[in-house]
Amino acid sequence: MHQSKSGRCSVPSLSKKARDTNGFVLMKHFVYILQSKDGAYYTGMTKYLQDRLRRHNRRRGAKFTKGKGVMQLVYSEEHSSLAAAMKREKQIKDYSRKKKSALVRSFSWISETGA
């Protein structure tokens, strides 16, 4: 952070980010599901989805994904708050495999149709 002559702090790297009506930076949080070659699902949460996917595939992600090889992104959703993303991540992690598979299939259909 930098302090200007007026005494206000600014974060130059965030100046081009979307802001709400009060000037606060709007951060996006993503909940995602990855699938390994053996069909295993991994559910996670991040602010930087593409970077996180690269880290998983370079085996620098979670312990679960390190031994699974290349992971494919099969589902993601965006949340405007960390609390909402954390709540949704826990909800999906508690899903049965059958319910996660249905969620992934519905996402695939939406992605393909552009709906």
Pairing of strands 41-46, 9-10: unpaired
Out of 3.40.630.10, 3.30.497.10, 3.50.50.60, 3.40.1440.10, which CATH number does the structure's domain 25-113 have?
3.40.1440.10
* Helix (H) or strand (E) segment spanning residue 63: helix 63-66
Q: How do residues 1-20 score in pLDDT, each as one tens digit?
A: 333 333 333 333 333 455 55
Q: How do residues 22-53 score in pLDDT, each as one tens digit?
A: 665 567 899 999 998 889 999 999 999 999 88
Average pLDDT over all residues of the chain: 77
Shortest CA distance to 75 belongs to which of 47, 39, 44? 44
Question: 58: which 2 tokens?
Answer: 């370079």
